[in-house]
Copies of this chain bind each other. A is one copy, B any other.
C-alpha cells in the first residue's frame, strides 16, 4: 500500500493558516489507500527566539526521513534580516541540494492582473537553486570604516548549470509549445554568462524539437509586462530567477496564487514545496490570507511524488475556484480551503 510521509513546517505569520488549508486539501484529494503521515516542525522565528537555533544538523537528519516537505512561510520583523533566510531557508535548499527551483505562472480567466488587456500567461521558470550569488561566498574588510570593501561571489559550475538546464529542456520538451528561453546577462557577466550560454547551446543539441532563445534579464522584465505570452519555459540563474519570478507572480494573479517547489530531482533528499509569498505578519491570525498558493504548492508536491492525477485535480479545482471568485466578496482562509477541499473530493 502507498504512503506519504510528510514534514510540515507551518513557520511564521500566515504560514500556520495557509498550511492548515493545504493539508485539508491534501487529505481530501488523496485516495483511501494512500496513507498520509505528517509530522510538524516548529522552525522559524519562535524557535529562533527560544533557542537561538534556526536549523541544526539533527533537524536535517530528521527532515531527511520524510518523502517531502510542505512549508508555509518563514520570517518575522523581530528577527534581523538574513538570519532566517541564510540560517533556515537557504541552508535547507543547500543541504538538500534543491537545485531545481520550479515556479509556474499561469493567469487564469477572471483573475486580476495589473496588466491591461488580460494577456495570455502560461509559463514555468526553472530557477537554479544552489549556485550563483546565493552561495554565501564573499566577505567584508574594514567593516564599518570609510574604507570598507564588501564582495559577493557568484559561483557557477558546469555540473550545476548543466543539470538545471537539462531539467528545463525536459520540461520544455514535455509541454505543447516546446520552447525554452535562457535568461542571463551574458553581455556583462561574461564569465558566468559564457558558461551558461555554452552549456545551454550544447544541451540544446540533444533536444532538436525544443525551440530556444536567449534574452538578457533586463529585457526579460520588459517582456514579462509587454508580451508575457512569448514565454513557455525559462531557465535562469538563482538571483535572476528570484527577481523575475516575483515579477511573474505579480503579473499572473499576484503572490496569493504563486506556488513553488525546491526540488531535488534525484530524490536523494526530500524536496520542499512552499508558496512564493512571505509570512505577512500584518495580516497573520486574521483569516485573511489566501491559501491558494499553498494549495497549488501541494499540487506540485503531489506531482513530484508521482500523484499526477491528484495534482491535476487540485489545479482544476483552483482554476474553477479562481474563476468563480471574480467580483464576489472575499472569503476567509478556511472558507477558501473548504471550498477547494470539496471540489477536489467531488
Q: What CA separation (Å) do A85 and B186 show in the bound complex?
A: 10
A181 to B: closest C-beta gap in Å: 16
Q: What CA separation (Å) do A266 and B82 show in the bound complex?
A: 36
A140 on interface, CB distance cutoff 8 Å: yes
Q: Known: A81-B187, A225-B115. Contact between A148 and B152, CB under 8 A?
A: no
Interface residues on A, range: 35 or more
Q: What CA separation (Å) do A249 and B114 show in the bound complex?
A: 16
Tell me which of B85, B86, B155, B185 contacts A151 (CB under 8 A).
B155
Tell me which of B117, B145, B198 contacts A158 (CB under 8 A).
B145
Chain A 299-327 near chain B by CB (<8 Å), digits 1 or 0: 00000000000000000000000000000
Q: Known: A114-B225, A116-B113, A247-B221. Contact between A157 and B149, CB under 8 A?
A: yes
A41 to B: closest C-beta gap in Å: 21
Do A85 and B188 have beta carbons less than 8 Å apart? yes
Interface members, chain A 155-198 (any B CB < 8 Å): 155-159, 162, 185-195, 198
Do B191 and A140 have beta carbons less than 8 Å apart? yes
Q: What CA separation (Å) do A140 and B86 show in the bound complex?
A: 26
Do B242 and A218 have beta carbons less than 8 Å apart? yes
A25 on interface, CB distance cutoff 8 Å: no
A71 on interface, CB distance cutoff 8 Å: no
Do B222 and A188 have beta carbons less than 8 Å apart? no
Q: What CA separation (Å) do A139 and B137 show in the bound complex?
A: 15
Can you list 23 A-B contacts with CB-CB less than 8 angstroms, sorted by A residue number?
Answer: A81-B186, A82-B186, A82-B187, A82-B193, A85-B187, A115-B116, A133-B133, A134-B188, A138-B154, A139-B191, A140-B195, A147-B157, A147-B159, A149-B156, A151-B154, A153-B153, A154-B154, A185-B239, A185-B242, A218-B242, A222-B249, A222-B255, A225-B225
List the 3 closest pairs (A to B, CB-CB), nearest first: A218-B246, A221-B247, A148-B158
Listed in ascending order, the chain A residues whose CB lies under 8 Å from chain B are 81-82, 85-86, 90, 113-117, 133-134, 136-140, 142-159, 162, 185-195, 198, 217-219, 221-222, 224-226, 239, 242-247, 249-251, 254-255
